[in-house]
Each structure stands twice: as C-alpha cells, then as structure tokens.
Amino acid sequence: MDWKVPLSDLDFGEEEKEAVIRVIDSGWLAMGEVTRQFEESFARMVGVNHAIAVTNGTASLHLACRALEIGPGDEVIVPSLTFVATANAILYVGATPVFADITSEDNLNISVEAIEDAITPRTRAIMVMHYGGYPCDMSAILQLAERHNLFVIEDAAHAPGAAIEDRKMGAWGHIGSFSFFPNKNLTTAEGGMLVTDDDQLAQKMRTLRSHGMTTLTWDRHRGHAWSYDVVELGYNYRIDEIRSAIGCEQLKKLDRNNSRRGVMTALYRRLFQEIIPDLRIPFADYAWKSSFHIMPILLPDGTNRARFAEIMKAHGVQTSLHYPPIHLFQYYLDHGLAPRQPLRMTEAVAAREVTIPLYATLTQRDVEYVVNAIAESLKETNLAPQSASQPGS
C-alpha cells in the first residue's frame, strides 16, 4: 500500500550507504572495530560505562534477565501496555511476569502504586517501559526497588535520548535495553543495545552474547588469545559490523531527529486543541524530556476504532495500536499469566488508543493533513450506520 502519510519512515542517506560500503570493503564483518565504536558512542550518549550491542531488542531484554540471574520461582513486575517482547523475555528465563496497571489516561507508563501493590516475597525485579519515549517516574521506582531489594530493568526501546533532568533513560536502572528495529528513533535494521554502569554485569552480558565463551573472535584475531573456555550457557546474540556502521551514522542524527519529532508532536497537540478539542492526547505538559517515539491519541469513548482506522486508510494515513495488552493474548491466558489485580486503566486506554504518524522527516503539511483526516474520519465514523460499524479487522 502506498500511504500518503505512513506511520513511520527512515531517515537514511548517503552517510549510511557509505558506511555500509566501507565495512564491505574492509573485509571484516563481525565483532570488530565498528561495533566497538558504536558501543562506545552509544555509552557516551546515554552517559554509562558500558554498552553491549546485540542482534535485536528482544535478545537484549533476554540477556538483561539472564545477567541478573532471574529464573524459575522469581517474579518480575512489568506493564501490560507494552510490546509482547518485554514480558516474553521474563518467560524465556522461566520467571513469572506480574502485570501492573498504567498510571492514568494521561500517563500511559506503569503506575508506581500498582508496582508497590504487586510486590511479593518472590519479586526480584521491576521491568519498566518508557511509553512513547516519555520517561517513567524513575526516582520513585528506584526508591521502591531499593526498599524491597529489587533490580530495575529499563526497556528503553522507545526512549534513546529521553531524559529526566540530565540523566538519560537506560542509565537509571541496573540495566537499560534498546531496540534498533526500523520503526525506532535510531535504526540498524535489526539491532539492540544493553547499557549498564556495573562492570560485572557488563562482562556477563558480553559473555552471554557470544556463546558464554571467555574470549572473542576479535581478541583471537589480534593474537590476544588462541583458545577459549565456555563458562555460561550463552547464545549467539551478536550484531555485525554492517549494522553497527549504520548505527554509528544514525546515532549522529539522534539529537536532531528527536528534536524534529518533538516539533511535530507540539504541532499535533496545538492543532488538535484548535480543531478537535475533545480528543485526548496523553502526556500533555509532561514533566520530563521525551524522545517522541510515537504519537498516541485516545478516541472519544464509544468511537468504532476499526471503522475509524478504515476511513483513515481511505485518506491514505497509516495508523496502528500501541498496544494490544499482553495479559489478554491467548498464550498468556492459556499459561495462567492473568493479572492478579484487574488492569482497568490499561484495558480502558488500550480500547481507545490509536497511534498516528510520527517520524523525523514528517513535515508540517503532513501533520496538517493527518489532523484534518482525523477530524473527517471521526465525523464519518460517528455518522456511519450501525451495519457499517461491525469490526472489519
């Protein structure tokens, strides 16, 4: 489908192409100098001692759980309003995800009170997700974690460059995790990154990333080592030099591109206020610095969302949902993973949420077009006869 305004778009140029060609010409394709550079630059951006690049954001969350030795019998508190990988990573290590509700219709991040209510003697960690790039209340969450002796993992897939005061997201918890999937603020096609200030955790994650081996291809190539031992049940979760080269170029654009997303977000908010004032837009006047990953809106109660999305599609505007709550997925229901407390706010918001286009190269005219399309689609949706409003997808 050729969208007039797609949900997300890349900002790739000659820089990325040339970086890829340089790697190909160099003849060194995996675990080399370019990956080391990407890790170093990323660590500097986040303001942490260690960054470990991996094959994708899901592998990254899995390694975070493994490195903290979370396992069977352990519980990890997690939001349900996130991508399924956030909770799947907890299941990979045999632990139990315990879902906590979000804060409000305005703040779609995990609620600190709900986290506190979900703590049991089995709780080992809290895994937060900075929805849309808007930071969770990390001071309160860290205080709670300290009081109960819990680890904090940040799923910062939405939040590269976001910050509370001067401390970037990913640097607050014991481990931060990022994804570089094509729709993210910084992409390497597939890719991910772990960050931490803890030397031991960093070492463990590096080992787990590469089969649990004690020395790396790079060291052996350089003559630093010629044999190895295997000390953990590790994986091959490595990134490669081609993707790291793209990552280095994308990282240089991150600040500028986050700012562009911020400008377009502000324009959306202003136009909505003028044109569709009864539309609810979460994270109004948010206290902390966002990376503006996505643009969520909440449709008026009772709007037929499937019909709305169809009409938007007819206008050439791509929309999406963030997210179908994890606790309602078949697999989770079938495996006894239903929440212990009802997730009322999560379910209420998830039923009304629609994500509209946001990306660094979005223009003012695109935003105006999308806002007008929303105004028209809402009108048409509510005019539609009942027969046309059966969910079609």
Ligand X SMILES: *Cc1c(COP(=O)(O)O)cnc(C)c1O
Residues in contact with ligand X by the rule CB under 6 A: 56-58, 82-83, 85-86, 129, 155, 157-158, 179, 181, 192
Catalytic residue status for 184: yes
CB nearer to ligand X: pick between 84 and 281: 84
Asked if residues 352 and 290 have their Cβ atoms less than 8 Å apart, the reply is no
Candidates 168, 184, 204, 253; catalytic one: 184
Nearer to ligand X, 64 or 271 (CB): 64
CB of 82 to ligand X, least distance (A): 5
Question: Residue with CB nearest ligand X?
Answer: 57
Rounded to 5 degrees, φ, ψ at 339 are -65, 150
Looking at the Cβ atoms of 291 and 377, the one nearer to ligand X is 291
Residue 27: partners with Cβ closer than 8 Å, 6 or more residues away? none
Is 137 or 155 the residue whose CB approaches ligand X more closely?
155
C-alpha–C-alpha distance, residues 2 and 5, integer Å: 9
Phi, psi of 175 (to 5 degrees): -140, 140
With the CA atoms of 191, 4, 290 and 38 taken in that order, what torsion angle do they form, in degrees rounded to the nearest 10? 30
DSSP sequence for 272-297: HHHH-TTSB-SSTT-SSB-----EEE
Q: Angle between the 33-46 and 241-275 helix axes, to the nearest 10 degrees?
A: 30
> Which is nearer to ligand X, 64 or 85 (by Cβ)?
85
Nearest distance from residue 86's CB to ligand X, in Å? 5
Strands (E), the chain: 50-54, 75-79, 96-100, 123-129, 151-155, 163-164, 167-168, 175-179, 192-196, 295-298, 353-356
User: In the complex, what is the shortest distance from the CB of residue 259 to ligand X, in angstroms, rounded to a whole number?
Assistant: 21
Q: How far apart are CA 281 and CA 284, in angstroms?
A: 7
Q: How far is the CB of 159 from ligand X (least distance, A)?
A: 9
Give the shortest CB-183-to-ligand X separation in angstroms. 7
| Enzyme catalytic residues | 184
